[in-house]
Amino acid sequence: MPGWLWSFDRECLRGLWLVAALWGASAFAQDVDAYERAGAAFEAGDYDTAAERFHQLAEDSRNAEVRANSEHYLAASLERKKLWAAALIYQSAIFKAGKSHPFYLKAIEALVDLQRRLGDEYLIPNLLGGAYSPEWRALPPPALARVHYLVGGISQRRGRLEEARAFLEQVPRSSDVYAKSRYLVGVVLIDPHYPNGPRPLEAIRAFEDVIAIGDRDQSDLARTQELATLGLGRAHYGIREYAKAVEAYERIPRFSLFWDQALLENGFARFQNDDPGGALGSLQSLHAPQFAGAFQPESWILQATVYYFNCLYDEAKDALAEFDSTYLPIQEELRPLTDAEKTESNELLRLIAARSERIPKPVLLWVRSNERMLGALRLLEEIDRELSAVRSSSWMKSSLGPDLVSSLEQLRSTTAMVAGQFARNRLSEAAQNIKGFADQAEIIRFETTKAEKEMAESGIDQKAILSRQKLHRPALPADDWEYWKFDGEFWIDEIGHYRHTLKRGCVAPGVVDGRVFDSGQAPQRP
């Protein structure tokens, strides 16, 4: 707490104390004296005593100014004790009191700092997003920048995309959340629901801005730049610049948090770029044992699709069989968990927090990789830590301890309720994803069977067609690369560098073995 602020408050109340003494207002004089003693403890670094005394004044003083000052310094004392969740409770109360509270703007500044310390992705952003006012421009520039970032993020989640962009673009380059804000600007601009349609070229510029940042004063810069690189690939893919999309996806660092997603999306980009061997190579990496915990049901559907469009029907069916054997059991395991009548949200949250084996590992890791889920789990852990600290403190001998315990328990209940519902939503989303891709698998099976039947009825000897083709070694990207034939073993230094060469079982339009065929024999890519 800035020293000048404390001195100013003390001098102000000393003047009021003199007036009260002249008027004989003994109760107010006692409050001022108690406030002075609480302030002395605060300045001396005795935050235990200060918090206890400020709490009593905040509860019992009949003077509005004494109560307001005491509420503020009670929260400040808790912050000095590094009881962030407890401080959140009291700063939120000041904030909810509104503009009439003399420490309203200071509470906003404190909430922004607490959001960063707690890693809270839900409570504080929603609190600020629901009450934003132009008067907040009086905040110090660093705090205002974070407010704009947080409120912009909430607007983006709620689908208010133009509003989100307006907030995010107010974050200056000097802010430590500038990179995060520019990334979200890009996300907003490629959203298909953006008014009058997405703006991919502007999104590309936003993502490139993030990637080009070289200084290290940005919050979570490495992670944000990886997300921006993914966004860059998606933006190029959306405007059918598939080669540029591939280039972006391949810039994601190997074994980073987002590498499995990059491999999947790179498979799509390579497939659309007439590079089926490259697409299958990306998927082979994704299906390596090192990615056994990845939740990527779509990868097998893509693999089957690549084989189908090359008329390699046996291989397509094998890929669909792998999807069935891997993900249909997971779908069955999720069924009781996503049934609200069988499993309560609090129980789901407990299972996720405990990394329970009742939740299939790929889904568990997928749920826990979400920032809002992680933020809720971190907040719950912090609340539990603070509850333990308060219960074992001397504050339990005064009214402060029980009040803190009650408030922290209520905050925990609210956080657990929100996190539990979010956990249920994520598990339901995982189950729906599997079902959706299972439906796609059935379509591919039908089309594969139909194509095989038509080929057989046409008298085409596909085996003969394939036998006449030769497989060539993939081209090396540069002279300093070496070729190693895959022998069934996955080596860490090879993952991510696989490429397939494959034959094509389709019949081109024209004459084959003296018979005429049209282009209907070869599937056409969407």
> Around Cβ 7, how many Cβ atoms within 10 Å?
12
Q: Check residue 524 and give its pLDDT.
A: 47
Which of 56-60, 272-276, 337-341 is predicted least confidently?
337-341
Phi and psi, residue 515, nearest 5° = -120, 150
pLDDT of residue 9: 56
Q: What is the pLDDT of residues 384-418, one digit of tens each?
A: 999 999 999 999 999 999 999 999 999 999 999 99
Helices 371-391 and 345-353, packing angle to 10 deg? 90
Bridge partners of 515? 512
Residue with tokens 């810039």: 251
- Flag whether pLDDT at 512 surpasses 60: no
Residue 312 has pLDDT above 50, yes or no: yes
Q: Which of 234, 190, 182 is CA-nearest to residue 207?
A: 182
Q: Which pLDDT does position 484 carry in this prediction?
A: 84
The C-alpha R_g of the chain, in whole angstroms, comes to 31
**So what's the pLDDT on residue 119?**
92
Q: How far is 204 from 207, CA to CA, in rounded Å? A: 5
User: By mean pLDDT, which of 76-85, 109-118, 151-160, 335-344 is the weakest?
Assistant: 335-344
Confidence class for position 337, pLDDT limits 50, 70, 90: very high
- 249, 258 in Cβ contact below 8 A? no
Read off φ and ψ for residue 70, nearest 5 degrees.
-65, -40
Provide mean pLDDT across the span 435-459. Answer: 94
Residue 511, beta-bridge partner list: 516
**Other residues' Cβ atoms within 10 Å of the Cβ of residue 133:** 10
pLDDT tens-digit profile of 421-444?
A: 999 999 999 999 999 999 999 999
- pLDDT higher than 50, residue 40: yes
pLDDT at 516: 41
Residues 207, 183 contacting (CB under 8 angstroms): yes
Phi first, then psi: give them for residue 188, nearest 5 degrees. -60, -40
pLDDT of residue 26: 67
Nearest to 228 by CA among 246, 259, 201, 206: 206
Residue 517 in this model has a pLDDT that exceeds 90:
no
Token representation of residue 176: 């430590």
DSSP symbols for 323-363: HHHHHHHHHHHHHHHH-TTTS-HHHHHHHHHTT-TTS-HHH
Backbone angles phi, psi at 502, to 5 degrees: -140, 150
Eight-class DSSP state of 512: E
- Give the torsion sign (CA, 234, 240, 241, 245): positive
CA distance 513 to 490: 41
Span 165-182, average pLDDT: 97
Say if residue 158's pLDDT is above 70. Answer: yes
Q: What is the mean pLDDT of the chain?
A: 90
